[in-house]
Structure 1
Amino acid sequence: MIDTEARVVRTEADHAWVVIRPHTPCGNCDPQTGCRSVAISRMFGQAQQHYRVNNPLGAEQGEYVKVAVAERTLLHSALWAYGLPLLAMLLGAVLGRVTGLVSPLAEVCGAAIGFCAAFAWLRWGHRSSTDRGPTIVSRHGRMPPPRGCASAD
C-alpha cells in the first residue's frame, strides 16, 4: 500500500473529499528540496487539489487522516491512462490507412479520432469500482499527525 496524510474538507455518504498534506524532507527524499514529485505537481497544478476517497471509517470534516491506495490499483490506472490512448491512436491510424485513401492526412485524422475517443471514454464513460480506489485507512483527529514522506509498504 502507498499512503499519505490528508485533511478532510467535506464528506458525502460513503466518501470524503480530502486535501493532501504537503510533505517535508525526510530520509527517503532529497534532503534540500523534499519530494521532487510534489514540487513538480505544484508547478503544473493548483496549490490545493481536492480528491474524492472512500470513507469506511466515517471521518468527519476537519479531521486529519491517512489515505492509502494499493500498488496494483496504481499500475492498473496507469495502464488504462497511457495504454488505451496509444492503442486507440494506432488503430485509428491503421483504419485511416485501410480506408483506401492514400493521403497521410487520413492516417493522422484516424489517429486523432482514436485518441479523442479513448480520452472521452476514460474521462466520462469508464468508471472503475470504487472499492479499489484511494481509501481512508486511519483517523488522526483534529490535530495534524507527524510530518514526513509518504511511505510505500
Structure 2
Amino acid sequence: MMQAWGQVLQIEAGRVWLRVSDTGGGCGRCDEPGGCRSVQITQAFGLPKSEFALPTRLELKAGDRVVISTPDGAPLKAAMASYGLGAVLLVAGAACGGIAAANDLGVAAGGAAGLLLAFALNRLLARSRGWRAQLHMELAPQELASQAACLRPLQESR
C-alpha cells in the first residue's frame, strides 16, 4: 500500500480538502547522495498539485494530520489505462487504416479513429464503479496509521 501524509485544510459537504505534505515517493533516497531523484519525473509537465479533495465519513477538522493510502498497483493501472490504451489503439488504428487505404491519409485517419476509441473507452472506465473501486484512496488519522504500523511487525512475527 502506497501512503502519503497530508493536512486537512477544510471540510465541506462530505469532502475533505487536503494538502499533501509528504508524497513518500519511490525508495525514499531521492535527495540522498546516489539517489536517482526519479520523483522529479512527476514535475515534467508542471508542478504537481499538492491540494485536492477526497470524500470522507471521518470526523476531521481543519489542521488534522492524515495518512492517504492507495492500493499498490493502482497508479500503474491508471497510467496504463490513460496512456497505454491510447498508444496501443493509436498504433493499431494507424495499422488498420494503412492496410485498408494503403496511403498516408488512411494511416492518419486510422490513428485518429484509434485515439477517439481510446478516449471513449477511458470515459467509460471513469464512470465504472468497479474500475474506480480499484483506484480508491483511503484516509486515516495519522495517529491511527502510526499505531497500525507499530502493530504490523508484531502481527507478522506470529
* TM-score above 0.5: yes
Residue identity in the other structure for 1:115: L
Residue in 2 that maps onto 1:102: 102
Assess, with a 3 A threshold, how the Cα gap between structure 1 residues 33 and 39 changes in structure 2: closer, same or farther: farther
Cα distance in 1 between the residues matched to 2:17 and 2:96: 42
Residue in 2 that maps onto 1:69: 70
Q: Stretches of 4+ moved more than 4 A in 1? A: 32-35
User: Structure 1: 5+ residue runs without aligned partners?
Assistant: 146-153
Q: Determine if contact 1:89/1:112 at 8 Å carries over to the other structure.
A: yes
Cα distance in 2 between the residues matched to 1:65 and 1:71: 19
Assess, with a 3 A threshold, how the Cα gap between structure 1 residues 37 and 137 changes in structure 2: closer, same or farther: farther
Q: Deviations over 1:99-134 (max 9, x none)?
A: 3x2212311231133124423542x44325344411
Q: TM-score, normalised by structure 1?
A: 0.66
RMSD, aligned α-carbons: 3.4
Cα distance in 2 between the residues matched to 1:5 and 1:88: 37
Residue in 2 that maps onto 1:126: 125
Higher helix proportion: 2
Q: TM-score, normalised by structure 2?
A: 0.64
Cα distance in 2 between the residues matched to 1:12 and 1:33: 44
Cα distance in 1 between the residues matched to 2:115 and 2:33: 40
The answer to which structure, 1 or 2, has the higher relative contact order (CA under 8 A, 6+ apart) is 1
The Cα shift of 1:65 comes to 0.9
